[in-house]
Structure 1
């Protein structure tokens, strides 16, 4: 009985080999990214017959930004890459700069020996970051002449702290 199970396992394995010898890839990119924040995308290439060249580009209205350009030699490498989302062109509204949402594209190109193995483009929404500032004092009331101590925390739409400088003006 065990010999026949091993035989069937070998037959099934040999049936799957031609299917997996094709280049298999995965590029996972968020559908919505927020300008000037740090985002991540992940890549996974499997069954690479030889070295391939992977390029991931964020195509925006004003300028294209190459996020990854790399030769990949070993199959089965899963990698996540962080990148800073570039700011898009602000529009003026009553003397203030206001950022308008933009539809960009993520362009993925996989080349093998100068031959294009895969080429694809998907739309991505680039939005203004939803940032909130929280100002907290060390106590609720102060007497005249007392020194006030406070802390400022900037939060994004997921309530994660943002590490960006804040300018403060006292009037």
Structure 2
């Protein structure tokens, strides 16, 4: 009883749809959006993505990363399409400590000018090392079988080599 019946009270969501204006003009002002990780890892593949919409003229798009006293140009291109979305891969060298980098994005045309400067944190990439043995406890004289796995921050295997392995036996 009541499973196949329509609800007796009107659905408020459907009523709200009727009150939305149907001829609302779309925003056609030029806009941009920049996507970049808040935390950038060194010696790792990172990306910066830029979206430009509703362009009405050709513009010059540039993105510069200021890191460890150097300015690194990530993109410097002329865009003539009305809408564009592009991602640029980059990587940063390892540093002595965690530091801050500054990303500056500039979009310049005859009548258009966007400029934004934001800070991002740069941290050395770290690996995780797991050591696994075939048994939790060994008796004297037994052969210990083990493996060592090194993973990156996303838990993907790394091709790291360990110069030596030190095994301590306590008894």
TM-score normalised per structure 2: 0.67
Structure having the larger proportion of residues in helix: 1
Q: Which of the numbers 117, 122, 146 marks the counterpart of 2:118?
A: 122
* CA drift at 1:9: 5.0
SS at match of 1:74: coil
Give unpaired runs (5+ residues) of structure 1: 1-7, 91-99
Structure number with larger C-alpha Rg: 2
Superposed, 1:139-150 pairs within 5 Å as: 139-140=134-135, 150=147
TM-score normalised per structure 1: 0.67
Question: Are the counterparts in 1 of residues 62 and 75 from structure 2 also a CA contact under 8 Å?
Answer: yes
1:10-55 alpha-carbon deviations (Å, 9 max, x no partner): 6x33xx4xx41x3210001122111222222221100111221211
Q: Which of the numbers 146, 159, 166 marks the counterpart of 2:161?
A: 166
Corresponding residue of 1:106: 103
Aligned residues: 144
* CA drift at 1:121: 0.5
Q: CA RMSD in A?
A: 3.0
Give unpaired runs (5+ residues) of structure 2: 1-20, 167-171
In the TM superposition, structure 1's runs of 4+ consecutive aligned residues that sit over 6 Å from their partners are: none
SS at match of 1:153: strand
Corresponding residue of 1:69: 76
